[in-house]
Structure 1
């Protein structure tokens, strides 16, 4: 991992997984994995059964056999680490979000300014150290609403379509779907002033007023 790619950037584990799970290498093609939801903006969405999909055999010359392709998928399943499902206690992302650097789960952290999810080792909740960057909860919620097509982010709704989520590198997350597909998303950091809501400002102002009265 870490070797430069011809298209730019560096190779990551998620890139290798995507290559190994791409049926096009066998000479076959699954069509309509995505569909356009707005022809003006060209916005697309992953197809989870909303539209017909078509499997075209021998659409082009393959570089590996179908048998080898299936054997690779089976080996990937065999090697996959067994991750114990954690009780979510009303926090729907618990037990679903993992660190791509060390494999530890992400835990929820709340501060007066924001709520975010960060590697358990980064938070000191597990042995060892990890410097993987966290993800703001609002960013994750917005991504899931768009990906799942619903504002109901209950644990049941999420796990119906998503196997797990992995922060593969700073500002990048990969959603591993139940149908075997992978969806990669990135996000931009907001400045501190942008991340402060009106309620946050009022709460901090009230805390400052209380502190001033006791001084």
Structure 2
């Protein structure tokens, strides 16, 4: 299966390789179709390098004799040169590099995108935590009840993230936002429906701040308003 190693090292996807092998009616060693996971298993198999990792599996007992994967229950033994190699060490090492890169990428994708305010903002309506959302590159925070069940269950408002950062900086009396100071001084933040954030300090004090809704009216510039006025006049035939 040197071909698989070479194609993977040259950048071809595991899915494409598996599909091609199946189309060519090339089965796995013990039969069966190929898929991306089987390609991944092949590339990580030391047997193609001429070596063998012994005791990957073991029998659970002498009565059932069930074959179980050895996840550190018993020692494993790595034996070199047990048979003829199919790929050389350089090609095998390059394949391991690709596998490690893919594994790192998967772990990165699994990790949630955290914010300084993760787990800190509580909805005043239903008591649920606020969750960070992203739309068109802009971040905002919304009650989880609203997100999962809708406005009928919680009519809370979405809060632009820049407003939370701005108010937190003001409340902490800082020149610029500092996440460490936030976590050391603020216990949690309660979001009220009247565009108000209530900051609860660890020393027991509270500070209330109003935030500005991200509405179309607030986002318009004077030039945009003038263009809209001209369009309205043209439609009425005044200009």
- TM category, shorter: 0.3 to 0.5
Higher helix share goes to which structure?
2
Task: Identify the structure with bigger relative contact order (alpha carbons < 8 Å, sequence gap 6+).
Answer: 1
Larger Rg: 2
